[in-house]
Amino acid sequence: MTQHIDSVKTYAVIWISLLILTGVTTAVAFVDLGPFSVIVALSIAVVKMMLVALFFMHLRHSGKVTQLAMAATVLWLGIMVAFTFADVATRGWMGVPGR
């Protein structure tokens, strides 16, 4: 059990940052960045996730095992997406009879 108490100011700064990021991501969505629209939107989402996890969920004060477990979760999720796409994206490459 961590007993590291952050100041209200820290939380307020994180909260305001999250609201600003929400505004930014909404505004940027109307700008045509081509394929980068997805990248920008998801990058901002990842930053917001990190802010919530590290500060609001106190992950930066948590033990190493907890931090490792959460990092591993993101990694495994990435592996799941990557392998699924390795399948879905390449299915049509070889002319499989009957398909």
Partner 1 sequence: MWVFLITEVMFFGGMFLAYIVYRAAYPDIFALASSSLNVYIGAANTAVLLCSSFTMVLGVRAAQLGQKKALAINIVLTLLLGFVFLGVKAFEWREKFIEHHVPGPSFHFEGVAMQGPAQLFFSLYFAMTGLHALHMVIGAGIMTWLLINAIRGRYSADYMTPVDIGGLYWHFVDIIWIFLFPLFYLIDRHLK
Query: 37-64 burial, b for 16+ CB within 10 Å, e for fewer?
Result: eeeeeeebeeebeebebebeeebeebee
What b-and-e string marks burial along 65-74, b requiring 16 or more CB atoms within 10 Å of the CB?
eeeeeeeeee
Instruction: Enumerate binding residues for partner 1 (CB under 8 A).
Output: 1, 3, 5-6, 8, 11-12, 14-15, 18-19, 22-23, 25-26, 29-33, 37-38, 41-42, 44-45, 48-49, 52-53, 55-57, 66, 69-70, 73-74, 76-77, 80-81, 84-85, 88-89
Smallest gap from Cβ 32 to partner 1, in A, equals: 4
By beta-carbon proximity to partner 1, the closer residue of 12 and 60 is 12
